[in-house]
């Protein structure tokens, strides 16, 4: 067996230790004689798995008791709909458009009410986080929506907008658990698991209790009501049992590592390795504004498209896979989520140096 360095943006790399543990429990979970996949979600054993996952997540992030934690399905994309359906009481919301997913979220919300685009970075291909200084928060806005880390373009928020007291809703799909989070600053946080937390099929929602409404139109699909999901502790119907089990293992892995501050330190170190190299390279360069650089998704290009292609091909042959940038951006993207070891990033940078040298660069 040979594992490569997988720089996929998602579904993405998971901690080896977590996969090995899951493997060892695959056929017989703790003496039950069955796999977690084969187990009733109403069983005592499974209840313990989901309770532990929630308790560990609460401990890891420091989630106050007036926030609910939900493990749902439908990915981050279903949250694009659930948020306006559940939160748009005045049928109005403010959105900041910092990338592809932020835009998708706003487009979906438009079906349910008035969407005010209060800032955007579309003018420069989403290569920066919009200026947050002079935002005009709409008086009747039910919430302000941002996308914390722009997976496709490789930018990230380093400060939060002042929302004039309106609940801040954040899509953290590609940055959740990469750094400490001050939950109190948010009304809702959601994250599809398949980027930084677990396998595809689970989305984590953290929602302040006072935002969970009961007075929704009667035609609201029952699965899309936060009140129903919260009352039933994510088990109104069969939850994504195996995904939640693996997320739980990742939470434990992070706790053992020293928590979010510890992993953040490692993430900053990894990102610095690549960005420092890019800044000194005569062949490769980062594609976004320095002050908006993501520490999860590093987007870069070389001096020509042909060279990009050659690089991606040779990198793959050398055990560095999924480095091709999103089709809308081109170039390369190295996703260096929590589970990517420092050695993986070092090896990539070494490979880039060799490639640069062999192809006429000065490195
Ligand atoms: C991947 C991604 C999405 C879409 O996630 P799905 O789970 O496929 O719906 C949304 N937002 C961000 C920031 C993402 O990275």
pLDDT in tens, 206-216: 999 999 999 99
Dihedral pair phi/psi, residue 243, rounded to 5°? -60, -45
- The dihedral region occupied by 312, where left means phi > 0, alpha psi between -120 and 50, and beta the remainder, is alpha
Average pLDDT over all residues of the chain: 97
Ligand 1 center–CA 325 separation, angstroms: 16
Reported pTM: 0.98
Q: Is the peptide bond before 11 cis (omega within 30 degrees of 0)?
A: yes
Burial of 279 (0-12, 13-18, 19+ CB in 10 A): exposed
- The CA 187 to ligand 1 mean position distance, Å, reads 19
Q: What does DSSP say about strands 297-301 and 332-335: parallel, antiparallel, or unpaired?
A: antiparallel
The percent of residues in the chain predicted with pLDDT above 70, rounded, is 99
Q: What tokens does 83 get?
A: 């948020």
Tell me, what's the pLDDT at 361? 73
Ligand 1 atom closest to Cα of residue 192: 7
Is there a contact between 249 and 18 (Cβ–Cβ < 8 Å)? yes
Mean pLDDT of 244-265: 98
- Give the Å distance between the CA of 359 and the centre of ligand 1: 36
Q: What is the pLDDT of residues 263-302, one digit of tens each?
A: 999 999 999 999 999 999 999 999 999 999 999 999 999 9
Mean pLDDT of 94-98: 98
The residue from 101, 142, 156, 308 that is catalytic is: 101
pLDDT for 363 equals: 56
How far is the C-alpha of 16 from the C-alpha of 333, rounded, in Å? Answer: 22
Q: Which of 195, 249, 270, 324 is catalytic?
A: 195
What pLDDT, in 10s, does the model give residues 217-242? 999 999 999 999 999 999 999 999 99
Ligand 1 pocket member 281 (CB < 6 A): no
The secondary structure of 204-223 as a DSSP string is EEEEEGGG--S---TTS-GG
What is the pLDDT at residue 351? 98
Task: Say which DSSP state 77 is in.
Answer: H
From residue 274, give the alpha-carbon distance in Å to each of 72, 188, 324: 34, 32, 16
**Average pLDDT of the segment spanning 45-63:** 98
């Amino acid at each position: 067996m040979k594992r490569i360095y997988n720089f996929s943006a998602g579904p993405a790399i998971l901690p080896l230790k977590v996969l090995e543990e899951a493997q060892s429990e695959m056929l017989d979970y703790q003496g039950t004689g069955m796999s977690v996949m084969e187990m009733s979600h109403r069983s005592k054993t499974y209840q313990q798995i989901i309770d532990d996952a929630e308790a560990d997540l609460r401990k890891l992030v420091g989630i106050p008791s007036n926030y609910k934690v939900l493990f749902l399905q439908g990915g981050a994309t279903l949250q694009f709909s659930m948020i306006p359906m559940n939160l748009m009481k005045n049928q109005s919301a403010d959105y900041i458009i910092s990338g592809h997913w932020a835009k998708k979220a706003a487009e979906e919300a438009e079906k349910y009410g008035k969407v005010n685009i209060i800032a955007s970075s579309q003018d420069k291909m989403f290569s920066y986080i919009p200026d947050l200084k002079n935002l005009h928060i709409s008086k009747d806005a039910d919430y302000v929506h941002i996308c914390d880390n722009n997976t496709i373009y490789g930018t990230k928020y380093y400060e939060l907008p002042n929302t004039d007291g309106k609940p801040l809703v954040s899509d953290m799909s590609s940055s959740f658990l990469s750094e400490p989070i001050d939950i109190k600053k948010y009304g809702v946080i959601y994250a599809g698991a398949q980027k930084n937390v677990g396998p595809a099929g689970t989305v984590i929602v953290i929602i302040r209790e006072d935002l969970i409404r009961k007075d929704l139109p009667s035609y609201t699909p029952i699965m899309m009501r936060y009140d129903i999901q919260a009352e039933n502790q994510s088990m109104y119907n069969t939850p994504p049992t195996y995904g939640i089990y693996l997320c739980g293992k990742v939470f434990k892995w992070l706790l053992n590592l020293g928590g979010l501050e510890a992993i953040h330190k490692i993430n900053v170190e990894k990102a610095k390795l690549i960005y420092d190299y890019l800044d000194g390279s005569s062949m490769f360069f980062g594609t976004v504004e320095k002050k908006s650089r993501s520490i999860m998704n590093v987007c870069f290009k070389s001096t020509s498209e042909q060279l990009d292609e050659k690089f991606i091909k040779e990198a793959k042959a050398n055990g560095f896979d999924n480095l091709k940038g999103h089709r809308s951006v081109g170039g390369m993207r190295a996703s260096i989520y929590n589970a990517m070891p420092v050695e993986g990033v070092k090896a990539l940078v070494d490979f880039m140096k060799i490639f640069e040298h062999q192809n006429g660069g000065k490195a």
